Amino acid sequence: MLIYTSNNTTLFLRINCFIIFIAGTILKNIELLFEKNPQCFSKIQSNKNSVIFQCGDKSFSGITISKIIKFINAVRKKYKNLKLSLVFSFGSIKLADKLSYIIFECICYFLMTNFHYKIHLFWQPERNILTDGIFCSPLLFLSKGDRNDFCRFLQKFQMDIYRRHFRRLINGSNKENTNYLGNLLQELDTFLKAFSIAEDYRDQISEVIIELVGNACEHGHTNCLLDIDITNDGEIAIDDIPQKGIFYGINIAIVNFSDILLGDGIKNKIEQNKLNENRYICLKQAYSYHKQFFSQDYSYADFCNISSLQDKISGRPYYNLSGGTGLTKLIHSLQEKSEVDSCYVISGQRCVRFVKNLLNYDDNKWLGFNEQKDFFKALPDKVTTVDCYIYFPGTAYNLNFVMKRED
């Protein structure tokens, strides 16, 4: 278990930044989260004015998100179009990772913008270097209950750049012929420069983010939410053993909601028999081997996800020669520089974990996601492809890197 003690003891940041509200920019397709996860609780707790979600989970994770979705589905079924106050009560709770609370933010945003629910949040999240961004999350505003704070939540959800927090809702549709990603690259570089992060490392982080945002907008045909927080310097303990030195965390979440999943581009190429050129011929060979072993633990969807993360493999329909940069390798390179990391992507019902010691190329730059470094005659390690607690419509990345501060 990772324990983090920050030098900054102020738990709640004073929010006095300039927030620019961009009217009309909304995170699209969040409703898919409820449509694709239609289960609902049979009973919900309510009092005169509000409906209450009381949660006893020790950790706020995908399991908690699953329960929240069931709760919301039940509320919407029972109360139809009534404008309600929703109370979420968690008490003192550990956050499993950044993505969990970011998805919760998205849910709150959806409920407030689409159903005009008032949301009140009661919780005391534990401090952790991987989830420290919660202390500059728009969710802070929902703990107060002031009417103006609801507006601030909505504004801060869409855009924020304040001290250690960078947040953008990026709309890529109809911008394919513009340099919107280049402009984002400039903004990211300016933001990261403030934290004395080495230039090469900064470039790699920016590159990873730009590629993932571009993929989300281009392949998912939707917009996406980008959230980055750089923690204060602090000490860490791993498995209760204090580590020497000063550390800081770089925590990134990139989320899009869409009917199109991570591996869909590759799936289409396989089904339309378009694996006839260059590296795609090798991909076809790998597919012939892997498909013999498709099961509940390692499925066709997993193969497509893993394939879409390979070097020079792209889901783009028209280009079979270029595409798909060494994104996974770039993530691996960042992991190599980290003391601790937690990186994964979820899409649909499945998750791909980026496990540091399993991300090594073979001689031809194929990633087996296994110890053998073999994509063609071995399956990915079991820890790489796992089930999600929810069906996630779209693609969401959780990237956490804990770095040692150089003297």
Which of 161/246 has CB closer to other proteins?
Answer: 161
Tell me the closest approach of the beta carbon of residue 18 to other proteins, in angstroms.
21
Closest to other proteins by CB, 12 or 319: 319
The CB-of-175 to other proteins minimum distance in angstroms stands at: 9
HSE-up of residue 245 (Cα within 13 Å, Cβ side): 11
Give the shortest CB-197-to-other proteins separation in angstroms. 15
Amino acid identity of residue 309, one-letter, is L
Of 336, 287, 381, the closest CA to residue 373 belongs to 381
Q: Are 325 and 313 in contact (CB under 8 A)?
A: no
207 or 233: whose CB is closer to other proteins? 207
Nearer to other proteins, 19 or 161 (CB): 161
Nearer to other proteins, 35 or 176 (CB): 176
Q: Name the pairing type of β-strands 59-60 and 85-95.
A: parallel
Tokens representing 155 are 């504004």
Q: Which is nearer to other proteins, 203 or 259 (CB)?
A: 203
Name the DSSP letter for residue 194. T
Q: How far is the CB of 167 from other proteins (least distance, A)?
A: 19
Q: CA 70, CA 74: separation in Å to the nearest integer?
A: 6
Nearer to other proteins (CB atom), residue 114 or residue 183: 183
For 335, phi then psi, to 5°, come to: -60, -40
- CB closer to other proteins out of 114 and 178: 178
Q: Which residues pair with 352 in a beta bridge?
A: 345, 385
* Nearer Cβ to other proteins (67/175): 175
Q: How far is the CB of 203 from other proteins (least distance, A)?
A: 7
Binding site for other proteins (CB under 8 A): 176-186, 189, 203, 206-207, 210-211, 214, 218, 316, 319, 321-323, 325
CB of 19 to other proteins, least distance (A): 23
Minimum distance of other proteins from residue 313's CB (angstroms):
12
Backbone φ and ψ for 259, nearest 5 degrees, come out as: -75, -20
The rounded distance, in Å, linking the Cα atoms of 179 and 73 is: 40
Dihedral sign for Cα atoms in the order 184, 304, 32, 67: negative
Give the tokens for residue 251.
């925590």
CA angle 172, 177, 178 (to 5 degrees): 70
Min dist CB 325 to other proteins, Å, is 4
Cβ(76)–Cβ(35) below 8 Å = no
Taking the complex as a whole, how short is the minimal distance between the CB of residue 217 and other proteins, in angstroms? Answer: 9
User: What Cα–Cα distance (Å) separates residue 60 from each residue in 56, 104, 121, 352?
Assistant: 10, 10, 13, 20
The whole-angstrom separation of Cα 262 and Cα 248 is 30
